[in-house]
Structure 1
Amino acid sequence: MGKTFAEVDQHLPDDATYLVQDVSPIFDVDPSYNGDQFGSSQWTVVAACADEKWLETSTTIEIAVAPTASVSAAELASARAGDYSDSLVCDF
């Protein structure tokens, strides 16, 4: 986590079901994500979970995103540490 959606998208299977959560309010920004922005570098993935151990082999993937411009270096480090994982349900 802590990578742009574009970077993460390179590892996502085409045929999976995706649940994308806009967690912008955590970063004091109004939600604005829409499906047309899937895989955009304008968004940073701060948490993700899937029905398999590896995203590449998963059929259901839940992703929490926030605007890249609104995520500080400290918040990126927090994302990498898993601090935003509770923003997802991950009930597969």
Structure 2
Amino acid sequence: MAVAIRLNRKGTKDRPYYKIVAVDSRKRRDGRYIEQIGTYDPLLEGANYTIDLEKTDKWLSVGAKPSETVNSIIRKARTAATKEA
């Protein structure tokens, strides 16, 4: 089973809100997912995401492939975590 880490769209028309999820890559965009890793709200200013880097690292270690958008969110979260430490 190929696992992808991608966005799962929620919210209403013109008010999108996304969950960052680990999902079987053959499933639909908004279909059933394996595990929720974080959230992303494009309508907020500043830090508009939350992500659990431990869960993300677990999925990446077993071969999950992140989408381009999720990959950029992961990079932002890692740089923010290193600045805090």
Which protein is richer in strand relative to its size? 2
Q: Is the TM value for this pair above 0.5?
A: no
TM-score band w.r.t. shorter chain:
under 0.3
Larger relative contact order (CA 8 Å, sep ≥ 6): 1
Bigger Rg, structure 1 or 2: 2
